[in-house]
Structure 1
Amino acid sequence: MKRAIILYLATLIVMVPLDFLFLGVLAKDFFKAQVGPALGDVNIVPAAIFYLLYPVGMVIFVSYAAGSDWQHTLLYGALFGLFCYATFDLTALALLKGWTWPATLVDIAWGTFATATSATLGLLIANAIQRQA
């Protein structure tokens, strides 16, 4: 249980700033240009639920599935991110007016990268913490 909590917190600490940097700075203008009408003000409650819940999925379906091997964590993280972000983006493309293919492809690529990176760095941080304990 202690390992799960350390993995969760380490993954969360990597993922949130990484995603905020991408969405809030690096890709902000891109997404505004691509899907501006579909974007509204951020609803903080669902956003907070996502950021608290998604790392749970990473720990269960990536970190535990991969064991303590960072290469497998990187691969499983990329796959988990691909499937999760593709589920959202392809559904948005199918159902939301104004959602675009470029936004879909960029967001799926981002989700693949961000999930792989967050899960892997979370694992490495957790391993380092547990070695010192």
Structure 2
Amino acid sequence: MFFAIDLVWLGVVAKTFYRQHLGHLLAAEINWVAAIAFYLLFIAGIVFFAVKPALAVNSATRALVDGALFGFFTYATYDLTNHATMRDWPAIVTVVDMVWGTVLSGSVAYLSYQVSSRFGRTVADRFTLWWRLRTRPFKPDRRLHI
């Protein structure tokens, strides 16, 4: 969900905006390994810091607020660091990108909460269960010995 919405934003809605302000800084080709790593880590962050806590207290509002805060702080870290250290990083990009990160992350956390609360266990819960079953030491049941 996050990936799809962000691709529409970056590839259609705000494409001209970013090209206009950051075109001289953009690579000719996307580094897909880095992009995929970012999306996987960011989505895991939304689940861990917003969706799971909201499910624990059964609150869609908590998912929205925690997701928005997660997006705000993570996008602020990226944008303000770039604004502080890059020669040609425009202030308008910092503001627009931070607003986008806040709205996107809050929305995705809210929607993920809605889906998870309606359809049972979250993906993270399933992964945790799978990992625990996979990594626990095998102990044969002594009652099965013949």
TM-score bucket of the superposed structures, by smaller chain? 0.7 to 0.9
Match of 1:39 in 2: 26
Given residue 54 of structure 2, which amino acid in structure 1 is its aligned partner? Answer: A
Partner Cα separation in structure 2 for residue 111 and residue 127 of structure 1: 24
Higher helix share: 1
SS at match of 2:120: helix
Q: If the length of structure 2 is used for normalisation, what is the TM-score?
A: 0.77
Q: Note the 1:4-23 alignment, pairs <5 A.
A: 14-23=1-10
Q: Which has the higher contact order (CA 8 A, sep 6+)?
A: 1
2:110 aligned with 1:120: yes
Q: Residues 92 and 99 of structure 1 are in contact (CA less than 8 Å); yes or no, is this contact kept in structure 2?
A: yes
Q: Which 5+ residue runs of structure 1 have no aligned equivalent?
A: 1-13
Q: Residues 54 and 113 of structure 2 are in contact (CA less than 8 Å); yes or no, is this contact kept in structure 1?
A: no
Match of 2:139 in 1: none
2:88 aligned with 1:98: yes
How many residues were matched structurally? 118
Identity %: 37
SS at match of 1:38: coil
Q: Which 5+ residue runs of structure 2 have no aligned equivalent?
A: 122-146
Partner Cα separation in structure 1 for residue 94 and residue 23 of structure 2: 13
Query: Is 57-66 or 23-32 further displaced after alignment?
Result: 57-66
1:65 is displaced (CA, Å) by: 2.5
Partner Cα separation in structure 1 for residue 31 and residue 85 of structure 2: 20
Q: If the length of structure 1 is used for normalisation, what is the TM-score?
A: 0.84
Flag the structure with larger Rg: 2
Q: Note the 1:66-81 alignment, pairs <5 A.
A: 66-67=54-55, 68-81=58-71
2:61 aligned with 1:64: no
Moved over 4 A (4+): none
Given residue 30 of structure 1, which amino acid in structure 2 is its aligned partner? Answer: F
Match of 2:37 among 49, 65, 81: 49
Query: Once the two structures are superposed, what CA deviation does each residue of 1:18-64 show, in whole Å capped at 9, x if it has no partner?
Result: 00000110000001111111111211111000111111111111112
